Amino acid sequence: MSYSDFLDLWIEKDCKISCKPSTIQGYEKKMRLYIKPELGSYRLKTITKNTLQDFVVKMYNDGFSRNTISSVKGILTKSFDFALDRHYIVSTPATKLVIPIKMQPKKETRSKPHVYISQDMINKIFERFPEGHPSHIPLMIGYHTGLRLAEIFALTWNDIDFDNYTLTVARQVQWQAVQRSKEEKQRTNGTSESNGYWYFSEPKYSSYRTIEIDDILYDALLKAVSYTHLRAHETRG
DSSP secondary structure of 116-167: ---HHHHHHHHHHS-TTSTTHHHHHHHHHH---HHHHTT--GGGEETTTTEE
Q: Which pLDDT value is given to residue 188?
A: 62
Kindly report, residue by residue over 70-95, the tens digit of the pLDDT: 999 999 999 999 999 999 999 999 99
Note if the pTM is more than 0.75: no
Residues forming beta bridges with residue 161, ordered by sequence position? 166
Name which of 3-7, 95-99, 101-105, 189-193 the model is least confident about: 189-193
Contact call for residues 65 and 86 (beta carbons, < 8 A): no
Residue 163 has pLDDT above 70, yes or no: yes
Q: Which pLDDT value is given to residue 212?
A: 96
Kindly report, residue by residue over 88-140, the tens digit of the pLDDT: 999 999 999 999 987 777 777 666 677 888 999 999 999 999 999 999 999 99
Contact call for residues 61 and 105 (beta carbons, < 8 A): yes
Q: Is 181 helix (H, G, I), strand (E, B) or coil?
A: coil
Residue 190 has pLDDT above 70, yes or no: no
